[in-house]
Structure 1
Amino acid sequence: MYCTPTQLADAKLVRELAQAATPERMVIPADAVMDIVLRGQDTTGQDADQVAAAQAALVVVQKALANADGLIDGYLRLRKPRPYPVPLNPVPEIVEVWARWIARYLLHKDRYGTEEKTDPVVRDYREAIRLLELVRDGKFNLGLDDPLPPSSAGMPAFCGPQRVFTTDTLKVFGT
């Protein structure tokens, strides 16, 4: 995974994930319970209904993260001039951010009553897609270990057939 549930918890998205990912007709788990479940910690001593709801929400979050990974891999496979070997390992930090943005968008895609122009979830998603398109087109570098060839700063290289007219072949015409 490019982004893990623990990384989402570290990004202070616990409450948002609990609200967006908990299936209908289940109680929205408390932040503390959701945080414990996202981090894969022991739930002993927690309310059983809260834990069940948090675990159900975790399944939804993991599906969104997997879908985000698939979308990112799709762009990276189409990269020009050379596709990336996917999944990336190690994962550049920017890819983890894009996975988080895309997963959040997928979790919130059915909400209503928000203005698309001012919605940070939509803004972040569109920015991730825009940058992935640049990566796909070979115009954005993912980091120091990126196999994208560096831009040339020296003399241009030429390749082609041998010259037809040289100073030796033109001697017959006089100089």
Structure 2
Amino acid sequence: MTYATPVQLADARLARELAQVTTPERVRVIADELMEATLRGTDRSAWSAAEIAIADECLRTITRRLRDADSTIDGYLRTRKPRPYTVPLDPVPELVTLWARWIARYLLHQDRRTEEKDDPIVRDYKQALQFLQLTAEGKFSLGGEDPLPPASAGSPEICAPEREFTMHTLRDYGT
């Protein structure tokens, strides 16, 4: 089970971008409609076998990057303090799906040369990692199924050594 699926990438209107970034070099970029059909797993009979083979290769690349994003997310969630999450998450919070999409998109664009400060893909990736770090530190909650108790729940816990002077130990010194 992955946190983000190819269908969710298609729903985010990323078919054209994914076709451009995953089509192998020295091969014409596959049609947006073919990439969309491949991501959604719908009928592709209108395209040639060679085009479908290239689209399948693109999908394998996308799937690998989605798994890489899952591994990154799981790595942070396993280190959650004071109680780690049980991974993979089930059900998957929508926020985690968004982070997985951002991370996978960044991984697919690794070879791109841009100014990082102005690049929305880099911005989203860094933001996902920041939230994952906050989640790992126990400072950010993933929602209702979060294993952490609410901050104000229960009475305070006291960690101190046992009392040395009690009425029983001081009885010989009393009146």
TM-score of the alignment, normalized to the shorter chain, above 0.5: yes
Report the AA paired with residue 68 of structure 1: A
**Aligned residues with identical type, % of pairs:** 56
* Corresponding letter in the other structure for 2:105: R
The range that moved more, 125-134 or 41-50, is 41-50
**TM-score, normalised to structure 2's length?**
0.90
Report the counterpart of residue 140 of structure 2 in structure 1. Answer: 140
Q: Secondary structure at the match of 1:36?
A: helix
Q: Which residue of 1 aligns with 2:9?
A: 8
Shift of 1:49: 3.4
- C-alpha distance in structure 1 between counterparts of 2:136 and 2:63, whole Å: 25
SS at match of 2:104: helix
Q: Match for residue 121 of structure 2?
A: 121
| Structure 1 residue 50, shift from structure 2 partner | 2.8
1:80 alignment partner in structure 2:
81
> In the TM superposition, what is the alpha-carbon distance from 1:139 to its structure 2 partner?
1.0
Which sits farther off after the overlay, 164-173 or 72-81? 164-173
Q: How far apart are the structure 1 equivalents of 2:160 and 2:171?
A: 20
> Which runs of 5 or more structure 1 residues have no equivalent in the other structure?
none
2:20 alignment counterpart? 19
Partner residue, 1:110: 111
Structure 1 segment 19-98 matched on structure 2, within 5 A: 19-98=20-99
Q: CA deviation at 1:22?
A: 1.1
Moved over 6 A (4+): none
Q: TM-score, normalised by structure 1?
A: 0.90
- Deviation for aligned residue 1:135: 1.1
SS at match of 1:117: helix
Q: Number of paired residues?
A: 173
2:56 counterpart letter in structure 1: Q
Unaligned regions of 5+ residues in structure 2, if any?
none
Alignment CA distance shift 1:153-1:170 (3 Å): farther
